[in-house]
Amino acid sequence: MESEPIRVVVTGAAGQIAYSLLYMIAKGDVFGSEQPLILHLLDIPPMMGVLEGVVMELSDCALPLLRSVVPTDDPVVAFKDVAAAFLVGAMPRKQGMERKDLLSANVKIFKVQGEALDKHAKKDVKVLVVGNPANTNALICSRYAPSIPKENFTAMTRLDQNRAQAQIAAKVNVPVASVSNVIIWGNHSSTQFPDASHGTVHMAGKDIPARDAVGDDVWLRTAFVETVQKRGAAVINARKMSSAMSAAKAAGDHMRDWFNGTPPGKFVSMGVISDGSYGAPKDVVFSFPVSIKNGKWEIVQGLVTDDFAKELLDVTGKELLEERAEAIAVIEA
């Protein structure tokens, strides 16, 4: 028997990330090749003309899983009965900006959308915040949606994880799928800590520690960390626009793993509400390694962190506390 369609919302649906993401979702890459979909597309009133073009293109893709499309500028319509929400709609940064410079422009969007999710979405909706600064926006969104569990609000650090795994694959000269369990700790910002010390590389039929495969601890603590921390800025410098294709791919990966789970022994990184694990501040959205089963994530416990890691975890945690204070000030102003 065919499954009932699920409703999925993408905000910022007329923007650049959505242009790649909508196709991936609609063709079954995220929710599976058997799951029919109704796509809700939210953008702001001046973008409704552009959105109409996106709707035409989705129709012209002739995708069997896509049962209908609901374009709208009304959050009430957009969030009605949705099972999954990709919150992409927000201003992107330009050359020379840090992501937290977007806070005052973007955080109010996530208050409004939290309120709308609270009233209109399914209570088990899975929310992925992509719009920057993603961690703090996710925290604010959750605060304004008290009837939905805090665990259902996540922020995207999967792009950073994919970048980190691609850097290691290139260094070791293996296909990217051979690299697993590289962690992104903390904020999706230039203070994030990309950590390969628990990573593995599949070589000659077995998983070996990434540190052994790389054989260069200095590189892992310097060039590797800095490249991943600054990759978003490097793309902006080159393209004059921020990452879009890779961001869409990461958003799809994040939501697919959240719905489908992670294989035994493997973990992925997600910004989730912090319980203070690994000395992170509580009640901020902090990126941790998580394993996922039956649609629920759990922070992977018991990984040993050395002094180098503790120092970097501390820096990114402090930045998240500062962002939280600033976000609350912006909203209450």
Ligand X SMILES: O=C([O-])CC(=O)C(=O)O
Ligand Y SMILES: NC(=O)C1=CN([C@@H]2O[C@H](COP(=O)(O)OP(=O)(O)OC[C@H]3O[C@@H](n4cnc5c(N)ncnc54)[C@H](O)[C@@H]3O)[C@@H](O)[C@H]2O)C=CC1
Residues making up the binding site for NAD(+): 43, 106, 130-132
C-beta separation of 197 from 308 below 8 A? no
Integer angstrom CA distances of residue 259 from 30, 294, 296: 9, 7, 8
Answer left, alpha or beta for residue 190, where phi above 0 means left and psi between -120 and 50 means alpha: alpha
Identify what 43 binds: ligand X, ligand Y, none; CB under 5 to 8 Å per kind.
ligand Y
Contacting range for ligand Y; rule: CB under 6 A; set: 2-10, 146-154, 219-227, 238-246:
238-246
CA distance 260 to 134: 23
- Of all residues in the shown chain, the one whose CB is closest to ligand Y is 15
The interface mask with ligand Y, positions 94-113, x = CB under 6 A, is ---------------x----
47 binds, among ligand Y, ligand X, none (CB under 5 to 8 A by kind): ligand Y
CA distances from 330 to 105, 130, 166, 323, 324 (A): 9, 20, 37, 10, 10
Site for ligand Y in 249-278 (CB under 6 A): none
> DSSP alpha helices (H): ranges in the chain?
16-26, 48-60, 75-79, 103-120, 134-143, 158-172, 210-214, 217-221, 223-229, 231-239, 245-260, 307-332
Closest distance between ligand Y and the C-beta of residue 73, in Å? 8
Q: Which residue carries 């500062």 as its tokens?
A: 322
Q: Least separation, in Å, of the C-beta of 65 and ligand X?
A: 28
What is the total count of residues that contact ligand Y (CB under 6 A)? 28
Phi-psi region of 62 (alpha: psi -120 to 50; beta: other; left: phi over 0): left
Active site annotation includes 40:
no
Kindly state whether residue 132 participates in binding ligand X, applying the rule CB under 6 A: yes
Q: Is 249 in the site for ligand X (CB under 6 A)?
A: no
The 58-97 contact track toward ligand X, x by CB under 6 A, reads ----------------------------------xx----
Integer Cα distance of 214 and 195 in angstroms: 13
- Is there binding between residue 232 and ligand X (CB under 6 A)? yes
Query: Token match 């800025």: residue?
Result: 233
Burial 314-331 (b: 16+ CB within 10 A, else e): bebbebbeebbebbeebe
Stretch that binds ligand Y, among 124-132, 260-268, 292-300, 311-319 (CB under 6 A): 124-132
Q: Which of residues 161-220 bind ligand X (CB under 6 A)?
A: none
Among 229, 243, 274, 316, binds ligand X (CB under 6 A): 243
CA distance 183 to 301: 13
Name residue 287's beta-bridge partners: 186, 271
227 near 167, Cβ under 8 Å? yes
* 229 contacts ligand Y (rule: CB under 6 A): no
Which range, of 26-34, 64-72, 111-119, 230-238, touches ligand X by CB under 6 A? 230-238
Q: Which residues bind to ligand X, rule: CB under 6 A? A: 92-93, 99, 132, 159, 232-233, 235-236, 242-243, 247
Q: Which residues are designated catalytic?
A: 188
Q: Which residues bind to ligand Y, rule: CB under 6 A? A: 11-12, 14-17, 42-44, 47, 88-93, 109, 130-132, 134, 156, 159, 188, 242-244, 247
